[in-house]
Structure 1
Amino acid sequence: MKLNFWKLLPGLILLVSLALSCDSKPEKVALTIYCTSDVHGTIFDYDLKRNRESRSSLANVSYYIKAARAKDSTAVLLLDNGDFLQGQPTNYYYNFVDTSGINLTAQVMNYLKYDAASVGNHDIEAGHPVYDKVVKELNFPWLSANTVRESTGEPYFKPYTVLYRKGIKIAIVGMTTPGIYKWLPKKLWEGMEFKDMIETAQYWVSKIQKEEQPDLLIGLFHAGFDYNYAGENAHTPRNENAGVLVAQQVEGFDLVILGHDHQEKQMEVIDKGGHKVVILDPKSHSTYLGKIEVELSRKGKQYAKKITTELIPLAEVPKDSTYLAYFAPERNKVKNYIGGEIGEFRETLSGRDGIFGPSAFTDFIHNAQLTATGADVSFSTVLQMDALIEKGTVTIRDMFNLYSYENGLYIMAFTGKEIGQYLEYAYGLQYNTMTSDRDHLLRFKTDSAGKLIKNNRGKYVLATDFFNYSCAAGIKYTVDVTKPKGKRVEIHSMSDGSLFDENRTYQVAINSYRGNGGGGHLSMGLGWSKAEMEARVIKIMPKDVRYYLMEYILEKKVLNPQCRNDWKVIPAQWFKKGKERDYQLIYE
């Protein structure tokens, strides 16, 4: 048989090229990967909400990364792990007010030359018009392999990307916490689904290893460390914080970067194939810059890898004055916007009392929600541990201190009995069962010996995140902390003294996070399925809660915030002493 040399030539060239590319792989390479996560709008060295300078921001990242690239840009990667579209007034302004040009967040991240990022839940909370625009404006891939189109099952965002540094092929898989369906109204993610992270990783890692054969595989997961959080466990489908589970159960990752939980973490796990996986979580709000040093030494066709991690405190890094000057016009524009006056408070309003019991602060939110919706009952909470509105002129800035994120406002149907069950669950999260006035009022985390646990800042840790506390307005009730969980709440009447009926259906004002199942009040407290939650929604208000707070102040013009006194904790003396004791633990 006669062979045609010219027909065989392209194949021969390809084989030779592959052989040469394999042989041309470097024997030893050192790379440095930098990462941020949950930046939440900390673009400037100035906290626009609190109207004061901040010690760390992306200005510090800019200084550090420019210096690193100046030494050897071919050895550096910069990654972000999501939640950069919400958190500061800057985000709100360029997401919803001034939308004519490229979103400022996209401008900043392009300026910093990020190489890839994952999609966070608060990025999705900004809504389709925002993130569908931003994804086109970014000069790098925005990744989420487990966010798919409902109609086709295909990825909505790019699932992974491949980068090259010093002859090393690096694959980066992005994923997003699938807990979004529990927290956000579907209108914000219409046409999308959020798949289980473990199942998604199994599919994409297999595909990447077969088709790409990377030298280094990185997981960029906007999901936290604690897979037992909020009553979930390792077997919970679509676990909110499945990052560590993926590292353990899906063979192939060398490095996994976590986020979402606002925790700093450096650790190692062993995957099911017996390989070491390094895990890093760089916390949030530009507090740290994650630094991962990777040394690769060639062993035949594979590389042996030595990976070390470090968290660089950005407050100790100088600020990039060139960066700050470049974005100064945008900062000043937002600063002028949020300084706009909307009313006057005759008394200072502090959120601290709301951590312990009835407060003028939470009742201000209740009053605004009841006014906006006309509902019978309102559920709300304190969303900042140290929220404060000073006596005097109230500005748009103050509203951002009350409500950091764009939570929507729902009217939902609850029976009287279900209102009681909801409150039982809420106060089970918040309050300890007191046996004397010397006991703690609040529930704190304890060790195996029953001793209270402190975090790395020396503060005692609440057993439940404070933003999952909840209280009601529109009804008169008491909470007896001497009784066990589930038997503490007694509802006496409506606020106006009229009859409260367990069998009647009431209209309840509630924020979208809680109304979609956030905190477990509806799922675990009432046993509602997701379908039941959706069926109970009577109306979705067109604006977010912050907007209705501003409208309430604009309408009243001058307010003297007072506690409604709709509820109280008993025994009163035990509550007083427990509050005094726990206040010192938390705030002093």
Structure 2
Amino acid sequence: MKKVFKIISTGDVHGMLFPYDFTTLSPAPGSLARVSAYVESQRAVMGEDSVLLLDNGDILQGQPAVYLYNFIETGTAHPVARVMKRMRYDAMTIGNHDIETGHPVYDRFRADLAPIPLLGANVTDISTGEPYFKPYTVVERNGVRFAVLGLLTSAIPAWLPEKLWEGLDVEPMVESARRWMRHIRERESPDVVIGLFHSGYHSTHPTWKWMENASDIVAREVDGFDLIIMGHDHSRAVIREENGTLLINPGAYATHVAETVVTVEQDDYGRVVDCNVDGRVVSVADHEPDEGFLEEFAPERKLTQEFVEKVIGEATGDFGVRDAYFGPSAFMELIHTLQLEISGADISLAAPLSFDAVIRKGTLRMSDMFALYKYENQLCTLAMTGEEVKNHLEMSYNLWTAVMGSPCDPLLKFASGNPVKGDYSRLINPSYNFDSAFGVNYTVDVTCPKGQKICISSMADGTPFDLKRTYRVAVNAYRANGGGELITRGAGISHDELKSRVLDATELDLRYYLMKAIERKGMISPVVTRNWRFVPEEIVDAAIPRDRHRLFA
């Protein structure tokens, strides 16, 4: 007997519950409201028992709606959990940005989500040695047993302060997958095994000792997976390994779903004798949002709208990210100056966390703070020598800029194949690792290789910059914990030493302090201090307009 099922999966939703972006205050092409409509249409065609709905994590960060219910409106069931129950998800794997919200948020979310299982087989409770999250679940539909094993990227310690994952250990994915696959095969007798992974495909670049994206290794080295649903890298993909395992990634922000058709053949005793898996990535942008969904969650949408429309100040001009790729910018100077004010540090290091954000002239609202600062990071003050600061910048600008030989060469490192991160499809590396510095004056020689690009001439006040002196340096917690490896691989500070370098850290997220600082000021004006520049100018000046057009056309 032949039976056909559809596995529909979302991932890296990043709080996009509604067909509206509360950061840009504009309609959004994706949203779980649209996904809900699509899933219901498939259930109507296939039958309720023939559709499974899964999510692979990173849903609790990225939009004001989730921030509001993570940290402010905490006295109610989390709306994301309620949304997932309404849509009848069968399972979800936790992601690194879910962990980044902190224990109080994801522990509460897990309780609110029940009985939908929150998976994470490779996350261990240190006190008990047992899995902190449910390692896997078995879903039985129409006489067929689907085992779903959840794993997330093991590089959590490379990005997040320990207090966010205190008491937990994250095991490498391959080791965990191998052990749990044996357990599932021996104990559960599954007909189909699905890997629900918050980890991307390519394992070509480790994050210090952790493999950030390991789905390809698991597919090749751990026998038994019929399907692996990937995430984390935001790259839509359908890949068939030589051993037959299908890997699929729905991308990000609920603009698409991964849709896998599983066809099984059962003998007269109900045993599966053949299983075929095929998949595609489907856009939901043309699907009207689920009206029942919108009606049920109208109060949450209204409250979020009121939250983001709260006036916090006035801007006398535009602050845009685009200028930040080609020199000092008002957008980055706003972040730098506020980081220095909040921390009292000597030097600020920061990158544009949004690829192409803009804060417009006029009334500043809470929504602008989410454009200014995308995720919930604390502000840290580190002790770094002048030489470490220079080496940090050497790696940053090497990620960012090419080595130019003539005005005809590109200034930026444009992607020719698959980018590292799907959001940054025109560049080789993601811009959230393009740190510039404030508090020092320096040049970046685009004709030189890494190690010879940066020349720091002085501190901002004109006093000498000393390679051997120790400075107080303001960075976000992601960077302070080794995120992007600019401090570890770039500055040369070992990961084990990072904790001892932290002089101070804010209790709340940096966005909160930025918002409070703007409220105190009342008005902010775009100011550009030319504390750094690309040289030689006769080569760079020709490349900048050409690269700007290529990047943003």
SS in 2 for 1:316: coil
* Runs of 4+ residues over 4 Å off in structure 1: 299-302, 453-460
* 2: CA distance, partners of 1:537 / 1:266: 42
Return the offset for 1:356. 2.0
Return the offset for 1:561. 1.9
**Structure 1 pair 221/456, CA: closer, same or farther in 2 (3 Å)?**
closer
Task: For 1:83-162, list aligned pairs within 5 A.
Answer: 83-138=58-113, 139-162=115-138
Return the offset for 1:526. 2.5
Give the count of matched residue pairs.
549
Task: For 1:37-48, list aligned pairs within 5 A.
Answer: 37-48=11-22
Q: Does residue 1:190 correspond to 2:166, yes or no?
A: yes
Task: For 1:15-94, list aligned pairs within 5 A.
Answer: 27-71=1-45, 72-94=47-69
- In structure 2, runs of 5+ residues without a counterpart are none
* 2: CA distance, partners of 1:166 / 1:150: 38
Return the offset for 1:39. 0.6
Contact 2:403 / 2:449 at 8 angstroms: preserved in 1? yes
Report Cα offsets for 1:265-322 as digits up to 9, x if no partner. Answer: 1111134xxxx21111010101111111111113685421111112111012222111
- TM-score, length-scaled by structure 1: 0.91
Q: Does residue 1:520 correspond to 2:480, yes or no?
A: no
Q: Paired residue for 1:576?
A: 541
**Structure 1 pair 137/535, CA: closer, same or farther in 2 (3 Å)?**
same
Q: Identity of aligned pairs, percent? A: 41
* 1: CA distance, partners of 2:480 / 2:457: 25
Q: Name the Cα RMSD after superposition.
A: 1.9
Q: Does residue 1:363 correspond to 2:333, yes or no?
A: yes
Return the offset for 1:473. 0.5
Return the offset for 1:434. 1.3
Equivalent of 1:437, from 367, 389, 407? 407
Return the offset for 1:170. 1.2
Report Cα offsets for 1:190-210 as digits up to 9, x if no partner. Answer: 001111000000100001101
SS in 2 for 1:318: coil
* 2: CA distance, partners of 1:456 / 1:248: 22
Give 1:468's aligned amino acid.
N
SS in 2 for 1:60: helix
Give 1:184's aligned amino acid.
L
Q: Paired residue for 2:552?
A: 587
Return the offset for 1:562. 0.5
Task: For 1:219-368, list aligned pairs within 5 A.
Answer: 219-229=195-205, 238-271=210-243, 276-298=244-266, 301-368=271-338
SS in 1 for 2:285: helix
Return the offset for 1:374. 0.2
Report Cα offsets for 1:385-434 as digits up to 9, x if no partner. Answer: 21111111111100111111111211011011111111111111111111
Q: Paired residue for 2:394?
A: 424
Return the offset for 1:323. 0.9
Return the offset for 1:527. 2.9
Give 1:378's aligned amino acid.
S
SS in 2 for 1:260: coil
Return the offset for 1:551. 1.8
Q: Does residue 1:566 correspond to 2:541, yes or no?
A: no
Return the offset for 1:454. 9.4
Q: Paired residue for 1:551?
A: 516
Q: Paired residue for 1:181?
A: 157
Give 1:251's aligned amino acid.
D
Q: Paired residue for 1:533?
A: 498
* 2: CA distance, partners of 1:68 / 1:378: 51
**Structure 1 pair 100/364, CA: closer, same or farther in 2 (3 Å)?**
same
Q: Does residue 1:168 correspond to 2:144, yes or no?
A: yes
Give 1:544's aligned amino acid.
D
**More deviation, 565-574/469-478:** 565-574
- In structure 1, runs of 5+ residues without a counterpart are 1-26, 448-452
Return the offset for 1:68. 2.4
Contact 1:197 / 1:238 at 8 angstroms: preserved in 2? no
Give 1:257's aligned amino acid.
I
* 2: CA distance, partners of 1:237 / 1:507: 27
